[in-house]
Structure 1
Amino acid sequence: MPAPAGGRRHGPGAPGSLHTATAGPAREGSTVIARPTSRAAFAGLALTFAVVMVGTTMPTPMYALYQRELGFTPVVQTVIFALYAVGVLTALLVAGRWSDQLGRRPLLFAGIAFSLTSSVVFLLAGPLWVLLAGRLLSGFSAGIFAGAATAAVIEAAPESWRSRGAAVATVANIGGLGLGPLLAGPAVQYLPAPLHLSFALHAVAVALCGLLVLGAPETVRRPEHPSLRPQALTVPPEVRAVFVPAATAGFAGFAVLGLFTAVSPRILAEIIGNPSPAVAGLLTFLLLSASVAGQLLVQRAPTDRVLDLGCALLTAGALLVALAVATGSMAALVTGALVAGAGQGMAFTKGLAAVHGRISGDRRAGTTSSYFVVCYVAISLPVIGIGEASQLWGLRTAGIVFCLAVAALAVLALAALLELQRRETRMPAQR
C-alpha cells in the first residue's frame, strides 16, 4: 500500500491488510501534522505495534493445555478463540475513527492498556470466564491498534523511509501475529509455568512499549469539536458487484486463518500425531509469514490479476489442507499452510483495493468497515462450527468438510470476479 499523503484520514484496519490506512479523506477538523520524526520514534512505534500483536496469538499453542486442565469441550475452545474476533470488530466499529479525532497516542495508550490487562488476566487464568475475558480484551487491543498504530507508523516514518512506511506497518502487524505462537510454542513445551511465563514476559514488554509511545510525537492535530460516532456500515449499489466476490474471497481467507490459529493444534495432535506446542506455533507462523510475503510481493502488481491469483491459491491451499487432514500428511499440511497463507494475503489486500478502486473516497470508510466485518465473522463463526461438527462427526470429517467449503467459496469468488472483469472489459468497446 502506498503511504497516504498528509491530511488523509486513516480508517480501521485489520491483521493482514496493506490497505488499513487508506479508508478515505480526513474528516473535517482533523489534520495530519507534517513534522520531522526521528528514526528511533518510528522504530519504537513499529516495535510497539508488533509487541501488542504478539499477545493476540500467544494462546494458540496453549489451547490443548487449557482444555485438558479446565475440561471444556472443543466447541468451548473455539468460542474462546472467536471472542477475540468479537473484540476486534467492536473496537473497529466503535473506535475506528477515534484516533483521527483524539490523536494517535491516546488510542495507542488505550490499546496498550487493553493488551497489558489481557496478559494479566491470562496470568490469573483459572475459571473459564477468565479466559473468555482475556481473549475479548486482546481483541479490543488488536482492533484499536489495527487502525491507530498503522496510521501512526506511516505518519511517523522519516523522510528516507516515507515510501516504506506502510510496508513496515504491515510487517509489524503480521510479524507480531506470527511471532506470538512461534515464541509461545517452545515456551509452553520446554520452559516452566507453560500457561503463565509467556504472558508474564509479554506484560513486561507491553509496559515498556508504553514508554516508547510516550516518547513518540503526536501526528494528528485534534479538532476543536471531536466526533466519536461509531463507524457506519455501508455497501453502495455501484460497488456491490465487486464487493460480494471480493468479500467472499476475504471470508474464505480469514476462515483459513481461523482454522490454523484455533484448530491446527488439535489437527496436529489428533490426526498428524504430533502434539508438540512448538510445532503448532511454527505452523501458524508459516501461514502468517506467507500472508505478509504474498502482500508485499504484489504491491505494484495489477489489482484484478492478483485478486484472481489469490483466489486460485486459496483454493489450492484449502484442498492441500483437506488432503493433509484426510491422510495425516505433515508435508501436505505445511504446504497447504504456505499456499493458503499467500492466497489469503493476496485476496484480502487486493480485494479491498478492488473495492476502493470502484468507489468515491467519501464512501470508502463505511464500505471498508463492512468488508472487515465480513472477514472477522469468517474468523469466528466457521471456527465455532468446526468445533461443533468435530463433536458430531469427528475432527477428520469436520476438517475435510470445512476445507472443501473454503475451496468452494474461493472458486465461486474467482468465477464471479472473472465474469465481472469480462463485462468491464467489454463495456468500453460497446460504447
Structure 2
Amino acid sequence: MSEARTASVQSVEGKGRRGAPQPDGRSVAPLWWVWLAAWPVTAVFVLSNAATPLYVLWQRDIGFSKGTLTVVFAFYIVGLVGSLLVSGVVSDRVGRKPVLLPALGLALAACLIFATAGSVGALIVARLFTGIAVGAVVSAGMAAVTDVAGPERKRIAALLASCAMVFGAGLGPLLAGVLSETAPAPTVTVFAVEAVLLLTAVFAVLRMPVRRPAVRAKGAWMRVPGVPRGNGRQLALGTAVFAPGITATSFVLSLGPSLLSGLLGTTSRIVAGAMAFAMFLTATGVQFAVQRLSRRAVLTAGAASTALSMIALIAAVRSSEVAVLIASALLAGAGQGMGQLGGLSLLNSGVPPRRLAEANAALNVGGYIPAGILPVSAGYLSDAVGLTNGATIFGAVLLGLAVVGGLIVRTTRRQVTDPA
C-alpha cells in the first residue's frame, strides 16, 4: 500500500497548526511542529541517563559492587526491551498518543522513585520504569516525528528523531552532574527539574498533529517486533552497526565513572556527567555532519568509529591515560550516532507508515539486547579480574563485532547507497 493511500485511510488524532496541503488533500504541519514532535523523545532520554553521575553517591550511601551497578543499569534494558515488544505494535494500531502519554506518566513516576531511593530495589524499579518509557518513545515517539513531517520530509524526520534521542541522553548526565555538585539534595534536584521537562512533553503530545489509524491490523498485540516482508535486509544492516555503537556508549555510561575514578583519582560528578554529555553531543553533531552522505558511507563510518573507540578504550585502561579514555567516549558517541541515523534512514525509506513504529522497535531491540548483556558481563568480569582486564576483554569483543558490522555493510551495496 502506498504512503498516500495509507495516509488517506487515517483520521485526525490531534490538533495543530497546518501548512500547505499535500497532493492527497491532507495539510502539512509546519516545520516547527516537526522539531516540537521530537521534544518528548529528548525529555524522556534526559531521564534515561540522568542517574549516571549519581551512582557513586548511591554506592556510598547504600553500598553495592560494580557488578550490582551494572545489574541496576541492565534493568533499564529489561524494561526497554519488554516495552518494545508491545509499544511499536500498539502504536501502529491505536495511534502514537495512547502509547506516549502513559509512557510519560511512568517517567514521572521514575523521577519520584529516584528522588526518594534508599535501596537497590528502589533504583531497580526506577530504572525499570525508565526503560519502559524509553521503549515507548523510541518506537511511538520517533514514528510520531515521521508522521508529523510527512512523506516529503523523511530525511529531516530521521535526523531530528535520532538527534533528539542522543542529545537527551547526553543532557541528562550533564544536568545531574552539575546540579548534584552545586545544588542542595544532590540525588533529588535533577529529578525535580526533569519532572518539569516531562510535563512540558506531556503538553506537546496532547497538542501534536498526528493521525490515528482508522482500521486496526490483526495479529498478536505482544510479539517480537519485526518489519514487513522485503525490509529484513534494511533492518539487518542497520542493526549490524547500531548494536555495537550503542553497546559502546552503554559501557561508558555504566562503568565510565569507575574508570575515571581509577585513572583520575576523582569522583567529581561534573567530570563524569561532562564526559557523557560530550559523548552524546558528538553523536548529535556527527549526524548533522554526515546527513548528505550515502547510507552506506554513514554506516561504514559508524562501524569504523566504534572499532576505533574500542581500540582507544583498551589503550586507555592499559596506559591510564585520561585523554585516550575521553577520545574513546567521543568515538563511541560518533559510532552510535551514525549507526542510529543510518538504521533509521533505511527503515524510513522502505517501511510504510502503518508499520514504522514496530520497525523502529525492532531496530532498538537488536541494539539494546547486546547493550544490556555485554556491559553487565564486563561489570562482573571487572569484579573478578580487575577493571583493567575486564575493560580490555569487553573492548576486544566489541571491536570484533564492529568490524563484522562494517564488513557486512561494505559487501552489501543494495539499499544502502542513497543519501541518509
Per mean C-alpha deviation after superposition, the further-off stretch among 370-379 and 387-396 is: 370-379
User: Is the partner of 1:221 in helix, strand or coil?
Assistant: strand
Q: For residues 354-383 of structure 1, give each alpha carbon's deviation from its aligned partner in whole angstroms, at most 9, with x where no partner exists.
A: 688899999987776444222111211111
* Partners of 2:104 and 2:202 within 8 A in 1: yes
Structure 1 unaligned residues grouped into runs of 5+: 9-25, 426-431
Structure 1 partner of 2:94: 102
Instruction: Give the fraction of aligned pairs with identical amino acids, expressed as a percent.
Output: 28
* Partners of 1:86 and 1:136 within 8 A in 2: yes
Structure 2 partner of 1:23: none
Q: CA deviation at 1:217?
A: 4.0
Instruction: State the AA in 1 paired with 2:335.
Output: G
* Partners of 1:232 and 1:369 within 8 A in 2: no
Q: CA deviation at 1:340?
A: 2.4
Q: CA deviation at 1:280?
A: 0.8
Instruction: State the AA in 1 paired with 2:398.
Output: V
Q: In structure 1, what is the Cα distance between the partners aligned to 2:252 and 2:215?
A: 45
Are 1:398 and 2:384 counterparts? no
Are 1:252 and 2:244 counterparts? yes
Q: In structure 2, what is the Cα distance between the partners aligned to 1:132 and 1:207?
A: 23
Q: For residues 263-296 of structure 1, give each alpha carbon's deviation from its aligned partner in whole angstroms, at most 9, with x where no partner exists.
A: 1011111233232111111111111122222333
From 35, 38, 53, give the equivalent of 2:45.
53
Are 1:304 and 2:289 counterparts? no
Per mean C-alpha deviation after superposition, the further-off stretch among 134-143 and 153-162 is: 153-162
Structure 2 partner of 1:15: none
Are 1:293 and 2:285 counterparts? yes
Q: In structure 2, what is the Cα distance between the partners aligned to 1:52 and 1:287?
A: 18
Structure 1 partner of 2:194: 202
Are 1:409 and 2:410 counterparts? no
* Partners of 1:47 and 1:172 within 8 A in 2: yes
Q: CA deviation at 1:52?
A: 2.0
Q: For residues 159-181 of structure 1, give each alpha carbon's deviation from its aligned partner in whole angstroms, at most 9, with x where no partner exists.
A: 99886344333332221111000
Runs of 4+ that moved beyond 6 A: 158-163, 235-243, 355-367
Q: In structure 1, what is the Cα distance between the partners aligned to 2:235 and 2:150?
A: 35
Instruction: State the AA in 1 paired with 2:368.
Output: Y
Q: In structure 2, what is the Cα distance between the partners aligned to 1:46 and 1:366?
A: 18
Q: In structure 2, what is the Cα distance between the partners aligned to 1:90 and 1:364?
A: 18
Please, what TM-score do these two structures have when normalized by structure 1?
0.81
User: Is the partner of 1:195 in helix, strand or coil?
Assistant: coil
Q: CA deviation at 1:226?
A: 6.6
* Partners of 1:318 and 1:406 within 8 A in 2: yes
Q: For residues 370-414 of structure 1, give each alpha carbon's deviation from its aligned partner in whole angstroms, at most 9, with x where no partner exists.
A: 442221112111111011011111111111221122112212333
* Partners of 2:139 and 2:357 within 8 A in 1: no
Q: In structure 2, what is the Cα distance between the partners aligned to 1:43 and 1:304?
A: 26
Q: In structure 2, what is the Cα distance between the partners aligned to 1:390 and 1:339?
A: 22
Residue correspondence of structure 1 range 83-122 to structure 2 within 5 A: 83-122=75-114
Alignment CA distance shift 1:121-1:255 (3 Å):
same
Structure 2 partner of 1:387: 379
Q: CA deviation at 1:245?
A: 6.5
From 187, 202, 214, give the equivalent of 1:223.
214
Structure 2 partner of 1:13: none
Q: In structure 1, what is the Cα distance between the partners aligned to 2:151 and 2:305?
A: 36
Residue correspondence of structure 1 range 118-197 to structure 2 within 5 A: 118-157=110-149, 164-197=156-189
Q: In structure 2, what is the Cα distance between the partners aligned to 1:153 and 1:359?
A: 15
Per mean C-alpha deviation after superposition, the further-off stretch among 400-409 and 355-364 is: 355-364
Are 1:75 and 2:67 counterparts? yes
* Partners of 2:159 and 2:287 within 8 A in 1: no
Q: CA deviation at 1:236?
A: 9.2
* Partners of 1:268 and 1:275 within 8 A in 2: yes
Structure 1 partner of 2:22: none
Q: CA deviation at 1:335?
A: 1.5
* Partners of 2:179 and 2:186 within 8 A in 1: yes
Alignment CA distance shift 1:323-1:31 (3 Å):
farther
Residue correspondence of structure 1 range 412-423 to structure 2 within 5 A: 412-421=404-413
Please, what TM-score do these two structures have when normalized by structure 2?
0.83
CA RMSD in angstroms, aligned pairs only: 3.5
User: Is the partner of 1:72 in helix, strand or coil?
Assistant: coil
Alignment CA distance shift 1:132-1:276 (3 Å):
same
Alignment CA distance shift 1:234-1:69 (3 Å):
same
User: Is the partner of 1:379 in helix, strand or coil?
Assistant: helix
Q: In structure 1, what is the Cα distance between the partners aligned to 2:406 and 2:151?
A: 39
Per mean C-alpha deviation after superposition, the further-off stretch among 259-268 and 368-377 is: 368-377
* Partners of 1:323 and 1:332 within 8 A in 2: yes
Q: In structure 1, what is the Cα distance between the partners aligned to 2:74 and 2:305?
A: 25
User: Is the partner of 1:97 in helix, strand or coil?
Assistant: helix
Instruction: State the AA in 2 paired with 1:249.
Output: V
Per mean C-alpha deviation after superposition, the further-off stretch among 351-360 and 40-49 is: 351-360
Q: CA deviation at 1:29?
A: 5.9
Q: In structure 2, what is the Cα distance between the partners aligned to 1:257 and 1:136?
A: 19
Q: For residues 92-125 of structure 1, give each alpha carbon's deviation from its aligned partner in whole angstroms, at most 9, with x where no partner exists.
A: 2211132333222222211210110110111221
Structure 2 partner of 1:18: none
Alignment CA distance shift 1:337-1:218 (3 Å):
same
User: Is the partner of 2:402 in helix, strand or coil?
Assistant: helix
Instruction: State the AA in 1 paired with 2:104.
Output: I
Structure 2 partner of 1:212: 204
Instruction: State the AA in 1 paired with 2:214.
Output: P
Instruction: State the AA in 2 paired with 1:124.
Output: T
Q: In structure 2, what is the Cα distance between the partners aligned to 1:328 and 1:123?
A: 34
* Partners of 2:381 and 2:390 within 8 A in 1: yes
Q: In structure 2, what is the Cα distance between the partners aligned to 1:222 and 1:362?
A: 8
Alignment CA distance shift 1:35-1:115 (3 Å):
farther
Alignment CA distance shift 1:356-1:231 (3 Å):
farther
Instruction: State the AA in 2 paired with 1:301.
Output: L
Q: In structure 2, what is the Cα distance between the partners aligned to 1:166 and 1:369?
A: 14
